[in-house]
Structure 1
């Protein structure tokens, strides 16, 4: 991320006088160079401040009758860690991206480089961020260091007071959730491509194998079969699925008699690596480096449909209510819904300025659905659904590859410097 401090003197000016600039409408434009932190004109005929938010009906739409739907179950989202979601139906939600179009968090969205180094002399008067986040609805609780490379997986096995992180530094670390202390390090001899937990089991994807640990009995298993890196995993219909570098999706089923995971299926169809998986509506969805999404029946494990609307790698998939959300390096998030024929089609496309890496969803402190999406500009955007009104941003020094949801309003982000614990702020009671 560009941590351009740019701590130039901020002059308290609102543009030239009417005498200097007869065109009064010109003075209502925000200086492009000031926004970029490099305006050298004094006096400048343009505004050196952001325009105020619009008022009236347009600004009030976010509180109108089209308010975001509350979750149908615990979260309404489905993903590698939150995979249980309601079935798709044919009810198109026409409010995607329409509510709160003007509700945008407005501030100079650059972290002050001098603040990062601990020596910014402007303090509160600095117009660059002295914070790793932008928004008042969540707070940073802790930053835990230890990994030497980017964190690619975060998992919280059920019924435990430990959190596990995996990294490209070829290690898995166990953390005490009460103290934040690292309890142990496992050296795997290969980069961790992904990590999930299901019940007491912790699954870690590395090149050519999936490692499985029972965190209650300490049983360790190695599931062979993958060719190349294992990039993504998900559990559905009592099967463990893994997306691999050669484009194959492998499935294992646990055998209680042998106390082992046995190969159950091999799903072929993608021409390049499978990098994202999600389960919802009795289907398995897979995203690939071949730019496509495939829908598979969980009962027959046959491919039902191939979606080709993305133009780059499909990095992450998420199920919310009757919708499938997908994000890609093509800088878009697409929202899919089932037609009467049962096939999926795009009902809304949200565009970003950067490639997208990961999607996660969770309820905020008011139980309203929030979408978190990490971008390859070292940030995470938070959006209200279904309006896609911006709720806040999280910044990092490196790409945030892992996002995980925890209990009690906690969520976690992992980048190349470690991982951060965040918490939703308590909702303010309404009078």
Structure 2
């Protein structure tokens, strides 16, 4: 690896610290406690909104004011409990099995999808759009502006810090287990390494090709590039090149001790790890899609692949044979996610589809959620109460947060350009990467309750 430990051309702008993942209270947590003590001010800190408050303690709120309660009960809908109360992580038994697999032995205790329900925490404004003048720091309307003066809408999550340095769209975010480093990949042909204690870039890996995707599995990091997959072990420093792909590698996933790579020519290449040689050996190439494979997920002993040919194919992990082709989407299937016994898919056709198995074992659409824009990326996590939350980015530069299974919207996040990468971490942290190359670190926080 060509590793520049000076951090390339990174400017020293990350003054706010996000602490070691999963350990101790963050500055943000302490600040939230202080804000509760000073809620009589009921005024949001202007500098916090601009992302540059350096007062600690600050006498003003470091969160948006909650909306007035709706006429109906704010606790309606949404279904029952269930799900682990830890953040969504690859090796826990959460109800999501996404990029790193998971426990798929669940029964349906959630009832029907799409129930009208919980609308807690969503701040109503006249236009759900970030003010361009506020972004530039010169909006003259202040609190009377009809546009948002915030990068988020709704309670239950807060911005921790912003990581600057990449020059193009973020295409992958990874947190290898046992490491205190965050890795981000970009179409600027680099992977950047960030220290989770200081929030500073500690190294830049120059790859000589656009990063199409990046995942972590245990201590391994896998990076999809044109015509090759790079594999790094963060504990042993092993550096491997897996040849065979034709064109850009758009999607990677690990399941059943196999590594799968979705490629530009429509193939899915498979490698098996050989512990004796400490290498990944080519196993087979799955050829059934007619166009590029851009999304992969493993769950319920199945591999699911989404393609530019508008189809989803279901593969047996035991036989590596295609056992079903799903053709309900009418555009590119951009992202896939397994939740309990359901498969969720999103597409540029502006829909999220929820698939469930029939008595025959075949998948059929059980619910369709429609949006106004093309959809890009799905990610699952749990809120501080252990309830499942779906994050979905769209090409209007926003990320929607939905309660499952009701699909009630609980908030939105915004960016200057579309968000292509979302990754969850331990301790309620999650990460988003947008088209400008900016990575944002967010924290899922409990919504404060009032007592009478």
Q: Sort the TM-score into its range (normalised by shorter chain).
A: 0.7 to 0.9
Contact 1:92 1:337 (8 Å CA) reproduced: no
Q: CA deviation at 1:93?
A: 5.3
Aligned to 1:30: none
For residues 92 and 335 of structure 1, the distance between their equivalents in structure 2, rounded to whole angstroms, comes to: 15
1:140 aligns with 2:152: no
For residues 96-143 of structure 1, the C-alpha deviation after alignment (integer angstroms, 9 at most, x for no partner) is 111317766532201111111101122222221111110111000000
For residues 203 and 241 of structure 2, the distance between their equivalents in structure 1, rounded to whole angstroms, comes to: 20
Alignment map for 1:277-288 (pairs within 5 Å): 277-288=296-307
For residues 268 and 281 of structure 1, the distance between their equivalents in structure 2, rounded to whole angstroms, comes to: 22
1:420 aligns with 2:420: no
1:269 aligns with 2:281: no
Contact 2:331 2:348 (8 Å CA) reproduced: yes
Contact 1:92 1:347 (8 Å CA) reproduced: no
Aligned to 1:99: 116
For residues 180 and 110 of structure 2, the distance between their equivalents in structure 1, rounded to whole angstroms, comes to: 39
Pick one of 277, 297, 302 that aligns with 2:321. 302
Give the aligned CA root-mean-square deviation in angstroms.
1.9
Contact 2:81 2:386 (8 Å CA) reproduced: no
Pick one of 104, 113, 132 that aligns with 1:86. 104
Gaps of 5+ in 1: 1-51
Pick one of 229, 244, 253 that aligns with 1:225. 244
Aligned to 1:29: none
* Cα 1:136–1:427 shift into 2, 3 Å: closer
* Cα 1:138–1:219 shift into 2, 3 Å: same
For residues 226-254 of structure 1, the C-alpha deviation after alignment (integer angstroms, 9 at most, x for no partner) is 00000000000000000000000011011
For residues 348 and 377 of structure 2, the distance between their equivalents in structure 1, rounded to whole angstroms, comes to: 10
Q: CA deviation at 1:418?
A: 1.3
Aligned to 1:410: 429
Q: CA deviation at 1:67?
A: 2.4
Q: CA deviation at 1:92?
A: 8.7
Contact 1:366 1:427 (8 Å CA) reproduced: no
Q: CA deviation at 1:417?
A: 3.3
For residues 105 and 382 of structure 1, the distance between their equivalents in structure 2, rounded to whole angstroms, comes to: 13
1:213 aligns with 2:225: no
Contact 1:154 1:404 (8 Å CA) reproduced: yes
For residues 350 and 175 of structure 1, the distance between their equivalents in structure 2, rounded to whole angstroms, comes to: 36
**TM-score (norm: length of structure 1):** 0.83
Contact 1:155 1:197 (8 Å CA) reproduced: yes
For residues 279 and 204 of structure 1, the distance between their equivalents in structure 2, rounded to whole angstroms, comes to: 18
Aligned to 1:234: 253
Structure with max Cα Rg:
1
Q: CA deviation at 1:349?
A: 0.1
For residues 314-356 of structure 1, the C-alpha deviation after alignment (integer angstroms, 9 at most, x for no partner) is 0000000110000000000000000000000000000000000
For residues 347-402 of structure 1, the C-alpha deviation after alignment (integer angstroms, 9 at most, x for no partner) is 00000000000000000111111000000011100000000001100000011000
Aligned to 1:394: 413
Aligned to 2:96: 77
Give the secondary structure class of the aligned counterpart of 2:143: helix
1:123 aligns with 2:142: yes
Contact 2:312 2:333 (8 Å CA) reproduced: yes
1:63 aligns with 2:80: no
